[in-house]
Amino acid sequence: MGDLPVSPLVLIGVGSSFAFSGLFYHLYKGKKEELKKLKEIPIFKPDQHLVKVLKASPHRRLQYVAVEGLVQADGESLASQFVPRCYGVIQKIAVEEQWKFWNSLTKTWNSRTINRKETSNSVPFSLVSPGAFINDLYVKVQNPLEASGCYLDRVYFKRSRAEKGLADMVMNGILGEEPVAMEVSEELLRVGSTLTGYGEVVLEGGQVMRLQAPQDGRKFILVPTDHRSFMDRHEKSASMWKMLSAVTGITGAAILTKVICGLVGNQDGKSKKA
Protein backbone atom coordinates (compact mmCIF):
# COMPACT_ATOMS: atom_id res chain seq x y z
CA MET A 1 0.00 0.00 0.00
CA GLY A 2 2.91 2.35 0.73
CA ASP A 3 4.18 1.95 -2.85
CA LEU A 4 0.99 3.31 -4.38
CA PRO A 5 1.71 6.69 -6.05
CA VAL A 6 -1.92 7.75 -5.51
CA SER A 7 -3.86 7.78 -2.24
CA PRO A 8 -6.59 5.08 -2.08
CA LEU A 9 -9.03 7.78 -0.94
CA VAL A 10 -8.39 9.68 -4.17
CA LEU A 11 -9.05 6.55 -6.24
CA ILE A 12 -12.25 5.93 -4.28
CA GLY A 13 -13.30 9.55 -4.88
CA VAL A 14 -12.73 9.26 -8.64
CA GLY A 15 -14.56 5.95 -8.86
CA SER A 16 -17.47 7.20 -6.75
CA SER A 17 -17.81 10.35 -8.87
CA PHE A 18 -18.05 8.37 -12.10
CA ALA A 19 -20.37 5.80 -10.50
CA PHE A 20 -22.78 8.50 -9.27
CA SER A 21 -22.56 10.25 -12.64
CA GLY A 22 -23.63 7.04 -14.36
CA LEU A 23 -26.46 6.49 -11.86
CA PHE A 24 -27.77 10.04 -12.22
CA TYR A 25 -27.57 9.80 -16.02
CA HIS A 26 -29.58 6.56 -15.91
CA LEU A 27 -32.24 8.30 -13.78
CA TYR A 28 -32.22 11.25 -16.20
CA LYS A 29 -32.76 8.96 -19.21
CA GLY A 30 -35.60 7.21 -17.40
CA LYS A 31 -37.29 10.51 -16.54
CA LYS A 32 -36.86 11.78 -20.13
CA GLU A 33 -38.49 8.60 -21.44
CA GLU A 34 -41.35 9.06 -18.97
CA LEU A 35 -41.72 12.68 -20.09
CA LYS A 36 -41.83 11.62 -23.73
CA LYS A 37 -44.68 9.20 -23.00
CA LEU A 38 -46.56 11.82 -20.96
CA LYS A 39 -46.32 14.35 -23.80
CA GLU A 40 -47.91 11.82 -26.15
CA ILE A 41 -51.06 11.66 -23.98
CA PRO A 42 -53.85 13.93 -25.28
CA ILE A 43 -55.12 16.48 -22.77
CA PHE A 44 -58.78 17.54 -22.59
CA LYS A 45 -61.14 19.60 -20.46
CA PRO A 46 -64.79 18.72 -19.73
CA ASP A 47 -66.18 20.68 -22.67
CA GLN A 48 -67.95 20.36 -26.01
CA HIS A 49 -64.66 19.61 -27.80
CA LEU A 50 -64.22 16.43 -25.76
CA VAL A 51 -67.78 15.38 -26.57
CA LYS A 52 -67.15 15.84 -30.31
CA VAL A 53 -63.90 13.82 -30.14
CA LEU A 54 -65.66 11.00 -28.27
CA LYS A 55 -68.54 10.89 -30.76
CA ALA A 56 -66.02 10.56 -33.60
CA SER A 57 -64.01 7.83 -31.80
CA PRO A 58 -64.59 4.05 -32.16
CA HIS A 59 -67.06 2.80 -29.53
CA ARG A 60 -67.27 6.39 -28.27
CA ARG A 61 -64.25 5.90 -26.03
CA LEU A 62 -60.70 7.24 -25.73
CA GLN A 63 -58.35 4.57 -24.40
CA TYR A 64 -55.91 6.78 -22.51
CA VAL A 65 -56.15 10.54 -22.13
CA ALA A 66 -55.75 13.24 -19.48
CA VAL A 67 -58.77 15.23 -18.30
CA GLU A 68 -58.23 18.40 -16.27
CA GLY A 69 -60.99 20.07 -14.30
CA LEU A 70 -62.34 21.26 -10.97
CA VAL A 71 -63.71 18.78 -8.42
CA GLN A 72 -67.47 18.98 -7.95
CA ALA A 73 -69.61 16.64 -5.84
CA ASP A 74 -72.49 15.03 -7.75
CA GLY A 75 -74.66 15.32 -4.64
CA GLU A 76 -73.91 16.23 -1.04
CA SER A 77 -70.19 16.59 -0.25
CA LEU A 78 -68.32 15.32 2.80
CA ALA A 79 -67.72 17.78 5.64
CA SER A 80 -64.40 17.75 7.46
CA GLN A 81 -64.68 16.37 10.99
CA PHE A 82 -62.13 18.86 12.32
CA VAL A 83 -62.06 21.95 10.06
CA PRO A 84 -65.18 24.17 9.80
CA ARG A 85 -66.57 24.92 6.31
CA CYS A 86 -64.14 22.51 4.67
CA TYR A 87 -65.70 20.05 2.22
CA GLY A 88 -64.46 17.23 0.03
CA VAL A 89 -65.45 14.20 -2.00
CA ILE A 90 -62.86 11.74 -0.65
CA GLN A 91 -61.94 11.67 3.02
CA LYS A 92 -59.32 9.68 4.93
CA ILE A 93 -58.94 9.86 8.71
CA ALA A 94 -55.99 8.10 10.35
CA VAL A 95 -55.42 7.52 14.07
CA GLU A 96 -52.18 5.95 15.26
CA GLU A 97 -50.21 5.50 18.46
CA GLN A 98 -46.50 6.24 18.78
CA TRP A 99 -44.70 3.97 21.25
CA LYS A 100 -41.08 3.48 22.19
CA PHE A 101 -39.60 0.09 23.06
CA TRP A 102 -36.40 -0.68 24.94
CA ASN A 103 -33.81 -2.64 22.95
CA SER A 104 -31.70 -4.54 25.46
CA LEU A 105 -29.06 -5.36 22.84
CA THR A 106 -28.32 -1.77 21.76
CA LYS A 107 -29.38 -0.24 25.10
CA THR A 108 -31.55 2.31 23.28
CA TRP A 109 -35.23 3.21 22.92
CA ASN A 110 -36.71 2.54 19.44
CA SER A 111 -39.85 4.27 18.18
CA ARG A 112 -42.66 2.35 16.52
CA THR A 113 -46.16 3.07 15.23
CA ILE A 114 -48.86 0.67 16.41
CA ASN A 115 -52.66 0.37 16.39
CA ARG A 116 -53.04 2.43 13.20
CA LYS A 117 -56.68 2.80 12.24
CA GLU A 118 -57.74 4.38 8.96
CA THR A 119 -61.22 5.09 7.68
CA SER A 120 -62.06 6.18 4.13
CA ASN A 121 -65.23 7.78 2.82
CA SER A 122 -66.15 8.99 -0.64
CA VAL A 123 -69.08 10.40 -2.56
CA PRO A 124 -69.61 10.44 -6.34
CA PHE A 125 -67.95 13.43 -8.00
CA SER A 126 -67.15 14.87 -11.40
CA LEU A 127 -64.66 17.17 -13.09
CA VAL A 128 -65.99 20.42 -14.51
CA SER A 129 -64.42 23.30 -16.40
CA PRO A 130 -63.64 26.49 -14.44
CA GLY A 131 -66.64 28.80 -14.45
CA ALA A 132 -69.05 26.01 -15.43
CA PHE A 133 -72.67 26.05 -14.27
CA ILE A 134 -74.60 23.10 -12.86
CA ASN A 135 -76.09 22.11 -16.22
CA ASP A 136 -72.80 22.40 -18.11
CA LEU A 137 -70.72 19.45 -19.28
CA TYR A 138 -68.85 17.33 -16.76
CA VAL A 139 -66.83 14.11 -16.59
CA LYS A 140 -67.83 11.65 -13.87
CA VAL A 141 -64.92 9.93 -12.09
CA GLN A 142 -65.59 6.24 -11.56
CA ASN A 143 -64.03 4.32 -8.64
CA PRO A 144 -61.51 7.03 -7.68
CA LEU A 145 -60.23 4.99 -4.71
CA GLU A 146 -58.75 2.53 -7.23
CA ALA A 147 -56.58 5.27 -8.74
CA SER A 148 -52.95 5.80 -7.83
CA GLY A 149 -51.39 9.15 -7.00
CA CYS A 150 -51.13 11.40 -3.93
CA TYR A 151 -54.21 13.48 -4.64
CA LEU A 152 -55.43 14.11 -1.07
CA ASP A 153 -54.66 17.29 0.85
CA ARG A 154 -53.96 17.05 4.58
CA VAL A 155 -56.30 19.53 6.23
CA TYR A 156 -55.81 18.52 9.87
CA PHE A 157 -53.06 17.03 12.04
CA LYS A 158 -52.79 16.83 15.83
CA ARG A 159 -50.22 15.11 18.00
CA SER A 160 -51.19 14.61 21.64
CA ARG A 161 -48.67 13.49 24.23
CA ALA A 162 -49.60 10.33 26.11
CA GLU A 163 -50.71 10.89 29.68
CA LYS A 164 -48.89 8.64 32.15
CA GLY A 165 -49.44 8.18 35.84
CA LEU A 166 -46.86 6.94 38.35
CA ALA A 167 -48.14 3.36 38.21
CA ASP A 168 -48.03 3.41 34.40
CA MET A 169 -44.45 4.68 34.42
CA VAL A 170 -43.37 1.88 36.77
CA MET A 171 -45.07 -0.82 34.68
CA ASN A 172 -43.72 0.61 31.44
CA GLY A 173 -40.22 0.61 32.89
CA ILE A 174 -40.57 -3.04 33.85
CA LEU A 175 -42.07 -4.10 30.51
CA GLY A 176 -39.67 -1.98 28.44
CA GLU A 177 -42.38 -0.20 26.48
CA GLU A 178 -43.88 3.25 26.79
CA PRO A 179 -46.59 5.22 24.92
CA VAL A 180 -45.31 8.49 23.50
CA ALA A 181 -48.14 10.19 21.62
CA MET A 182 -51.39 9.83 19.74
CA GLU A 183 -51.58 11.24 16.20
CA VAL A 184 -54.76 12.12 14.32
CA SER A 185 -54.80 13.31 10.71
CA GLU A 186 -57.45 14.04 8.10
CA GLU A 187 -56.96 14.20 4.35
CA LEU A 188 -59.47 15.43 1.78
CA LEU A 189 -59.88 15.75 -1.94
CA ARG A 190 -61.45 19.15 -1.60
CA VAL A 191 -64.40 20.47 -3.54
CA GLY A 192 -63.25 23.14 -6.01
CA SER A 193 -59.65 21.90 -6.18
CA THR A 194 -57.95 21.29 -9.54
CA LEU A 195 -57.52 17.64 -10.50
CA THR A 196 -56.07 15.94 -13.57
CA GLY A 197 -57.09 12.35 -14.23
CA TYR A 198 -55.27 9.92 -16.52
CA GLY A 199 -57.38 7.06 -17.77
CA GLU A 200 -60.06 5.96 -20.21
CA VAL A 201 -62.93 8.29 -21.08
CA VAL A 202 -66.27 6.93 -22.28
CA LEU A 203 -69.31 8.73 -23.64
CA GLU A 204 -72.20 6.96 -21.92
CA GLY A 205 -75.04 8.55 -23.80
CA GLY A 206 -76.03 12.03 -24.85
CA GLN A 207 -73.30 14.19 -23.32
CA VAL A 208 -72.58 12.19 -20.14
CA MET A 209 -68.85 11.34 -19.93
CA ARG A 210 -67.04 9.00 -17.56
CA LEU A 211 -63.36 8.73 -16.56
CA GLN A 212 -62.41 5.22 -15.50
CA ALA A 213 -59.52 2.77 -15.14
CA PRO A 214 -58.06 1.88 -18.57
CA GLN A 215 -58.77 -1.57 -19.99
CA ASP A 216 -55.33 -1.83 -21.65
CA GLY A 217 -53.45 -2.22 -18.36
CA ARG A 218 -52.11 1.32 -18.07
CA LYS A 219 -52.33 3.12 -14.73
CA PHE A 220 -55.40 5.01 -13.60
CA ILE A 221 -53.86 8.16 -12.05
CA LEU A 222 -55.27 11.20 -10.28
CA VAL A 223 -52.98 14.23 -9.89
CA PRO A 224 -53.90 17.13 -7.54
CA THR A 225 -52.80 19.88 -9.93
CA ASP A 226 -53.30 21.13 -13.46
CA HIS A 227 -51.64 19.34 -16.37
CA ARG A 228 -49.06 22.07 -17.05
CA SER A 229 -47.81 22.09 -13.44
CA PHE A 230 -47.59 18.30 -13.48
CA MET A 231 -45.45 18.37 -16.62
CA ASP A 232 -43.28 21.19 -15.25
CA ARG A 233 -42.54 19.13 -12.15
CA HIS A 234 -41.38 16.19 -14.28
CA GLU A 235 -39.22 18.46 -16.45
CA LYS A 236 -37.57 19.98 -13.37
CA SER A 237 -36.87 16.48 -12.07
CA ALA A 238 -35.24 15.49 -15.36
CA SER A 239 -33.13 18.67 -15.35
CA MET A 240 -32.02 17.96 -11.78
CA TRP A 241 -30.78 14.43 -12.64
CA LYS A 242 -29.03 15.79 -15.74
CA MET A 243 -27.27 18.50 -13.71
CA LEU A 244 -26.18 16.04 -11.01
CA SER A 245 -24.83 13.67 -13.67
CA ALA A 246 -22.81 16.48 -15.24
CA VAL A 247 -21.48 17.83 -11.92
CA THR A 248 -20.35 14.45 -10.59
CA GLY A 249 -18.86 13.49 -13.98
CA ILE A 250 -16.92 16.76 -14.24
CA THR A 251 -15.75 16.39 -10.65
CA GLY A 252 -14.47 12.87 -11.31
CA ALA A 253 -12.75 13.97 -14.53
CA ALA A 254 -11.12 16.95 -12.77
CA ILE A 255 -9.76 14.77 -9.96
CA LEU A 256 -8.51 12.18 -12.46
CA THR A 257 -6.82 14.88 -14.56
CA LYS A 258 -5.10 16.29 -11.49
CA VAL A 259 -3.89 12.81 -10.50
CA ILE A 260 -2.52 12.12 -13.98
CA CYS A 261 -0.78 15.51 -14.10
CA GLY A 262 0.75 14.80 -10.70
CA LEU A 263 2.03 11.40 -11.81
CA VAL A 264 3.50 12.84 -15.01
CA GLY A 265 5.18 15.61 -13.03
CA ASN A 266 6.70 13.10 -10.65
CA GLN A 267 8.01 11.01 -13.54
CA ASP A 268 9.57 14.09 -15.17
CA GLY A 269 11.23 15.00 -11.91
CA LYS A 270 12.71 11.54 -11.51
CA SER A 271 13.95 11.60 -15.15
CA LYS A 272 15.76 14.90 -14.62
CA LYS A 273 17.43 13.63 -11.45
CA ALA A 274 18.56 10.51 -13.31
Judge whether 61 and 203 are in contact, CB under 8 Å.
yes
At 126, which helix (H) or strand (E)? strand 125-128
**CA–CA–CA angle 169, 174, 179 (5° rounding):** 45
Q: Is the Cβ–Cβ distance between 115 and 85 less than 8 Å? A: no
Give per-residue pLDDT as tens, 129-166.
Answer: 887 655 578 999 999 999 998 899 999 999 888 666 54
Indicate if the pLDDT at residue 8 is higher than 80: no
Task: Give the confidence band of 167 by pLDDT, cuts at 50, 70, 90.
Answer: very low
| Number of other residues whose CB lies within 10 A of the CB of residue 27 | 17
Q: Which of 90, 89, 39 is nearest to 230 (CA)?
A: 39
Report pLDDT for 269: 56
pTM, whole model, 2 decimals?
0.76
Question: Is the model's pLDDT at 173 over the cut of 60?
Answer: no
The tens digit of pLDDT for each residue in 177-225 reads 777 788 999 999 999 999 999 999 999 877 889 999 998 889 999 999 9
